[in-house]
Amino acid sequence: MTILPDTSVASRVQAIVSEHADLDGPLLPILHRVQSEYGYVPESAIRPLADALNISRADVHGVVSFYHDFHTAPRGRHVVKICRAEACQARGGQALEDHIRKVLRLNWNETSSDGAITLEPVYCLGLCACGPAALIDERPVAKLTGEKVERLVREMV
């Protein structure tokens, strides 16, 4: 099998870079945009990004790998982010974490085999007076119980 350069990703990346041409230090906004379009930052985007911004591929890779938000492989159709920070732990977060991992049969940062759900930890959503809290796709949910989470998951898939 020959691997051809992914010209569609390259041209899309160049367009995104030129949309951000007037920003100073534009790499994070660009990566956010790439990820919002592809669901992750494809390997084939690294070289065109580096070329367009006149930085090395190592620089781009370094930034992508540094931040928890950027992913180099597709995630599930839905992302469940459970808060693991102290204020949620004080309200029974640990038991809830264990319950969710059991119900979803997923560990942190794993995606279900049908590609439906990715489970991620998050360290604080600013919902600290009404935990345990989670972000389901972009929907915030709080005062979670095992039952409530199971219902939300059923509604989602």
Partner 1 sequence: MGLSMNGVTRIFVPGDMAARALGADDVARAISRESDERGLDIRVTRNGSRGMVFHEPLVEIERDGVRYGFGAMEASDVAALFNDPDTHPKALGPVDDLDWMKRQTRLTYARCGVIDPLDLDEYEAFGGLAGLRAALKRAPQRIIDEVKASGLRGRGGAGFPTGIKWQTVHDAEARQKYIVCNADEGDSGTFADRMLMEGDPFCLIEGMAIAGLAVGATKGYIYLRSEYPDAIRMMDAATIIARQNGLLGADILGSGKTFDLEIRVGAGAYVCGEETALLNSLEGKRGVVRAKPPLPALEGFFGQPTVVNNVISLAAVPFILAEGGEAYAAHGIGRSRGTIPLQIAGNVKYGGLFEAAFGMTLGEIVNKIGGGTASGKPVRAVQVGGPLGAYFPPDLFDTPFGYEDFSSKEGLIGHAGITVFDDSVDMGRMARFAMEFCAIESCGKCTPCRIGAVRGVETIDRIRDGDAGAMALLTDLCDTMKAGSLCALGGFTPYPVMSALNHFPEDFLPEGHKEAAE
DSSP letter for 142, please: -
In angstroms, give the least distance from the CB of 117 to partner 1: 19
Residue 155 in the binding site for partner 1 (CB under 8 A): no
- Round to whole Å and give the CA distance between 30 and 15: 10
Shortest CB 133 distance to partner 1, Å? 6
Between the two ends of the chain, the Cα-to-Cα distance in Å is 36
3-state secondary structure (DSSP) of residue 30: helix
Site for partner 1 in 54-83 (CB under 8 A): 59, 62-63, 66-70
Per the annotation, binding residues for [2Fe-2S] cluster are: 83, 88, 124, 128
Binding mask 96-115 for partner 1 (x = CB under 8 A): --------------------
Assess 21 for contact with partner 1 (CB under 8 A).
no
The answer to whether 54 and 18 are in contact (CB under 8 A) is no
Which residue in the block uniquely carries the two structure tokens 């640990």? Answer: 94
Q: Which residues, other chains included, contact 45 with Cβ-Cβ below 8 Å and sequence gap of 6+?
A: 9, 10, 13, 34, 38
> Token pair of 35, please?
């990820």
What residue has token string 């390997």?
Answer: 43
Residue 87 is a binding residue for partner 1 (CB under 8 A): yes
Residue among 2, 54, 107, 138 that touches partner 1 (CB under 8 A):
138
DSSP 72: S
Residue 105 Cβ vs partner 1, minimum distance, rounded to whole Å: 23
Could you tell me how many residues of this chain bind partner 1 (CB under 8 A)?
A: 43
Quick one: DSSP state of residue 106?
-
Is there binding between residue 128 and partner 1 (CB under 8 A)? yes
Contact footprint for partner 1 (CB under 8 A): 23-29, 31-32, 53, 59, 62-63, 66-70, 85-91, 122-131, 133, 135, 138-143
